[in-house]
Amino acid sequence: VPMVVYDPRLPEEQRGKVTFVVEQGEARRQTLHWLMTAKSEWAERTGHKTPWLKDGSGERFLTAVLELPDGPESLVATLRCDDRIVAAVFCLRGGDALYVSKIAHDPSFAAYSPGRSLLMMLMELAFAEGIALVDLMAGGVEWKHRFATGQSALVMQKVRLR
């Protein structure tokens, strides 16, 4: 059931019907582009050094994953205010686990926690579909600690060539 956000104190562009959408077809690729652009703008604003965002290789890789005929099962979902994307997420599914790979939101909606709302709706969907684990993946950012019910040690093996 969509929520309706109407508060006369809100700017006109922040009022409307809020919906959770699991994107299908071409909208998946368009949403992935929006998501990676939003991530890139976030990295620029915050000073994060993320070459895979800056050079576009991350978006090219994830787009290729979406288009693989026998590729991994993926999910692209959005939180929208009317037709405007305010948050988006890209996930991979393996067995009974859902891996949250990328998430971003429109900073003009930040005061309303659209990323948090999107994650809550995503977890509701995951539970309904029999998912046992939602993995927020690597990165020790605060919001992940608030959501997590546990953590696993991550060991990365490397081969240095130079």
Confidence tier at 1 by pLDDT (50, 70, 90):
very low
Q: Is the dihedral of CA 84, 89, 90, 94 positive or negative?
A: negative
C-alpha 64/C-alpha 71 separation (Å) is 9
C-alpha 154/C-alpha 129 separation (Å) is 27
59 or 33, which is more confident: 33
Looking at every residue in the chain, the average pLDDT score rounds to 80
* CA neighbor of 129 nearest in space, from 80, 102, 151, 96: 96
pLDDT in tens, 68-111: 777 778 889 999 888 889 999 999 888 888 888 888 999 988 88
Query: Residue 31 pLDDT more than 60?
Result: yes
* CA-to-CA separations, 6 to 11, 14, 112, 155, in angstroms, rounded: 10, 8, 13, 47
What pLDDT was estimated at residue 8?
59
Residue type, 63: T
C-alpha 37/C-alpha 58 separation (Å) is 11
Q: Are strands 84-94 and 73-81 parallel, antiparallel or unpaired?
A: antiparallel
C-alpha 87/C-alpha 79 separation (Å) is 5
Q: What is the DSSP letter of 49?
A: -
pTM exceeds 0.75, yes or no:
yes
